[in-house]
Amino acid sequence: AQRVTQPEKLLSVFKGAPVELKCNYSYSGSPELFWYVQYSRQRLQLLLRHISRESIKGFTADLNKGETSFHLKKPFAQEEDSAMYYCALRVTGGGNKLTFGTGTQLKVEL
């Protein structure tokens, strides 16, 4: 069965410092990976997806099939980046089913 692992429950960084939120996955098929974010008192929303190779709000994530990782990175953390971040893997074969990691709470301190 597929699995998504986010090893850090909480990551605390200072404003302006680099951020890396780790995500590892196990899946026998061809992976589709996503990062979702939940800001305080807001809905869970898509941040970015690996297939788009986009940078959103300064965040990037590269799929590394060799290391089965999809880490989320940002060179300079901002206070507004404080949120809960979930890595998710789409399971192919029926539906838009996502398997989520347990999430990492990012806290950016001044």
Partner 1 sequence: NAGVTQTPKFQVLKTGQSMTLQCAQDMNHEYMSWYRQDPGMGLRLIHYSVGAGITDQGEVPNGYNVSRSTTEDFPLRLLSAAPSQTSVYFCASSYSSGTNEKLFFGSGTQLSVL
Q: Using CA atoms, how far apart are residues 12 and 29, in angstroms rounded to an integer?
A: 34
Classify residue 94 by burial, with Cβ atoms within 10 Å: 0-12, 13-18, 19+.
Answer: exposed
**Which residue stretches of the chain are H helix?**
none
6 vs 74, beta carbon nearer partner 1: 6
Contact call for residue 43 and partner 1 (CB under 8 A): yes
Site for partner 1 in 44-73 (CB under 8 A): 44-46, 49, 51-52
Kindly list the residues in this chain that would bind partner 1 in the complex (CB under 8 A): 4, 6, 9, 32, 34, 36, 43-46, 49, 51-52, 86, 90, 92, 94-103
